[in-house]
Amino acid sequence: MNNLSEQNYIQQISIDTVLFGYEEKQLKVLVPKLDFKGDFWALPSGFVYQGEDIEQAAERILRDRTGISNIYLEQFRVFGKASRNSMEFLDRLIELNPEKLGEKRHKQQEYDWFTQRFISIGYYALVDISKVVPQKNTLDESIEWYALHELPVMIMDHRQIVEAALQALRSDLDEKQNAFNLLPETFTMKEVQELYETIFDKPFVRTNFQKMILDLDVLERLEKKFTGAANKAPYLYKFKK
Amino acid sequence: MNNLSEQNYIQQISIDTVLFGYEEKQLKVLVPKLDFKGDFWALPSGFVYQGEDIEQAAERILRDRTGISNIYLEQFRVFGKASRNSMEFLDRLIELNPEKLGEKRHKQQEYDWFTQRFISIGYYALVDISKVVPQKNTLDESIEWYALHELPVMIMDHRQIVEAALQALRSDLDEKQNAFNLLPETFTMKEVQELYETIFDKPFVRTNFQKMILDLDVLERLEKKFTGAANKAPYLYKFKK
DNA sequence: AGTATATTGTATATTTTTTATACAATAATT
DNA sequence: AATTATTGTATAAAAAATATACAATATACT
């Protein structure tokens, strides 16, 4: 651990991010695994510098893990139960990693900082998964995309945070057209439909879906995409804006 | 000021509440005025105790100002700009109230606590305005309901917080039926319509509005209400649940 | 080259929902 | 008993959502 307790962070506030990507007809979430014994997976998280907007902090946390800026971000909820702290998780972490973390008392200051009760601001983010090269940070053993239905067991309430983020994403889709942020630069209508079917976990009727999306008037039609398949080639579209 | 800096509050986190009521066909907001020279109006605000859920904190803040519990509450957004602090406001407050607040340096600790950069969690709440007897707290000169269109100039970004709360209220109305929390125990359909027209600032067609509301299937029809007017008496309804 | 096949784009029919209009019921007043 | 202003409900018209039909087409297969 770095000397987090000495850095210029706001105390007791954390940012937890749920980064969604879309690949192989599945919604995926970027989840780092901690470089400690014991299989600990946690959402990309961080803290807010004194001179930093909370949105900047969320951007920074994601930029550090993805290498890309200008990620589509939405603040969706604050998790503020008094019982919300990492004491249980940290005790187990230390118990399983005595050689690395040493005796509690030798790291008391650091330990105390971490076991404070934290109020966490939840952000979800959407990316074109092909643009991201996941970046381990110093605490990570790995960082990988996990399909939503195959998420590993996560620490604390991180699983519930993912669930709340998914609900927010679905709900936002009614007014915002943010789903297109999950797709590559260009895509076919079929790909859009598969994405929507994945997000809402229900089928759409092809012809009406096509009309509905085109009526949104947010797509620009490009050239055709010839795949070599023995059928009519679909048009490519891009999200205008 | 009490010794806020010595109390067991989480630092740099505040709760700002926008309490909506409905009276005389107007949406109103409960706004205390500070008991200092200089006309300072601020939203009912407060801090979070170490052992307290953020929602409990919001409830407590509103209970203290209204005397009632079980207020309908919704967390709607976090305001977290780095530039968000009360320094400007406090400087002016002290400047205008030297006899009461004394020299800055004599209250340095208190002053420092207040001028920290705060991240504020916004809650809006809905009440039956007739149930509330506004309670001044020790810092208030007055506390009054102000029509949304006649709000006094408020400190810091509190006016924008009200605006964001109103937007959230409107947006939530699509899925939740929380508007009924603004009405008294029983009400006529006309009163419901007037409330909706006030919230959305647009007219509804009476017959279709009535059907729409009844189709929600959240109202229970009671006896008629005889007002003495020379026309058919309307039914009273109550919000079931 | 001509036919077959799977998919795509669009048009149209059908159903449902929303909005507009009509009208009977009724609580006082005259 | 007729009059008036509202209320409750029914129905007509318009719009939106959903279902169905079909022509266009990129390639494979004969």
> Is residue B3 in some structural domain?
no
Rounded Cα distance between A83 and A176, Å, is 34
Q: Over 50: is that where the pLDDT of B1 sits?
A: no
Confidence of residue B99 (pLDDT cuts 50, 70, 90): confident
Task: Give the percent of chain B with pLDDT over 90.
Answer: 83
Q: What's the mean pLDDT when you consider all of chain A? A: 93
Rounded Cα distance between A18 and A58, Å, is 10
CB pair distance less than 8 Å for B53 and A78? no
Of A176, A203, A218, the last residue of a domain is A176
CB pair distance less than 8 Å for A82 and B117? no
Q: Which residue has the tokens 């695994």?
A: A33
pLDDT at A126: 97
- Phi, psi (5° rounding) for residue B4? -60, -35
pLDDT at B104: 58
Q: Which residue is nearest to nucleotide C18 (CA to C1')?
A: B208
A contact set with B (CB within 8 A): 10-13, 48, 50-56, 75, 77-78, 80-82, 117, 119, 121, 171
Q: Over 90: is that where the pLDDT of A5 sits?
A: no
pLDDT digits (tens, 9 = 90+) for A140-163: 999 999 999 999 999 999 999 999
> Is residue A197 in some structural domain?
yes
Task: Give the percent of chain B with pLDDT over 70.
Answer: 96
pLDDT at A6: 62
Nucleotides of D under 7 A from a protein CB: 3-11, 17-21, 24-28
Residue B106: what residue type? H
pLDDT digits (tens, 9 = 90+) for B31-70: 999 999 999 999 999 999 999 999 999 999 999 999 999 9
Q: Are residues A65 and A130 in the same domain?
A: yes
Task: Give the percent of chain A with pLDDT over 70.
Answer: 96
pLDDT digits (tens, 9 = 90+) for B182-201: 999 999 999 999 999 999 99
Do the Cβ atoms of A5 and A115 come closer than 8 Å? no
Q: Are residues A74 and A190 in the same domain?
A: no
Which residues are CB-neighbours of A231 under 8 A, at least 6 positions away? none
Of A176, A197, A212, the last residue of a domain is A176
Residue B181: Cβ-neighbour burial (10 angstroms; 0-12, 13-18, 19+) = middle
pLDDT digits (tens, 9 = 90+) for A83-97: 998 888 988 998 999
CB pair distance less than 8 Å for A54 and B119? yes
Q: Are residues A170 and A191 in the same domain?
A: no
> Is residue B59 in some structural domain?
yes
A131-135, B104-108, B233-237: which has the minimum mean pLDDT? B104-108
Q: Which residue is nearest to nucleotide D24 (CA to C1')?
A: A232
Q: Over 90: is that where the pLDDT of A103 sits?
A: no
Q: Are residues A156 and A202 in the same domain?
A: no
Which two tokens mark A69?
């800026």
Residue pairs spanning A and B at CB distance below 8 A: 60
DSSP H or E run through B73: strand B72-79
**In terms of residue numbers, what domain contains A63?**
8-176
Q: How far from chain centre, in Å, is Cα B167?
A: 13
| Closest residue in chain A to residue B51, using alpha carbons only | A82
Can you say whether the dihedral through the CA atoms of B86, B89, B91, B94 is positive or negative? Answer: negative
Q: Over 80: is that where the pLDDT of B105 sits?
A: no
When pLDDT is averaged across residues B141-152 and rounded to a whole number, the result is 97
CB pair distance less than 8 Å for B82 and A50? yes
Check residue B90 and report its DSSP letter.
Answer: H
Distance from CA of B110 to the nearest CA of A (A): 18
Q: Which residue is nearest to nucleotide C19 (CA to C1')?
A: B208
pLDDT digits (tens, 9 = 90+) for A40-64: 999 999 999 999 999 999 999 999 9
How many domains would you assign to chain A? Answer: 2
Q: Are residues B131 and B230 in the same domain?
A: no
Query: pTM for the full model?
Result: 0.93
Q: β-strand B186-188 against B45-49: which pairing, if any?
A: unpaired
Of B144, B176, B208, the last residue of a domain is B176
pLDDT at A1: 45
Q: Over 80: is that where the pLDDT of B168 sits?
A: yes
Rounded Cα distance between B197 and B204, Å, is 7
B75 contact residues in A (CB cutoff 8 A): 77-78
Rounded Cα distance between B25 and A96, Å, is 63
Q: What CATH number should be reported for the domain holding residue B57?
A: 3.90.79.10
A104-118, A172-186, B52-66, B77-91: which has the minimum mean pLDDT? A104-118
Q: How far from chain centre, in Å, is Cα A153?
A: 16
Check residue B41 and report its DSSP letter.
Answer: B
Q: Are residues A42 and A132 in the same domain?
A: yes
Which two tokens mark A34?
């901690």
Q: What CATH number should be reported for the domain holding residue A191?
A: 1.10.10.10
- How many C-beta neighbours within 10 Å does residue A73 have? 18
B117 contact residues in A (CB cutoff 8 A): 10, 50
A55 contact residues in B (CB cutoff 8 A): 80
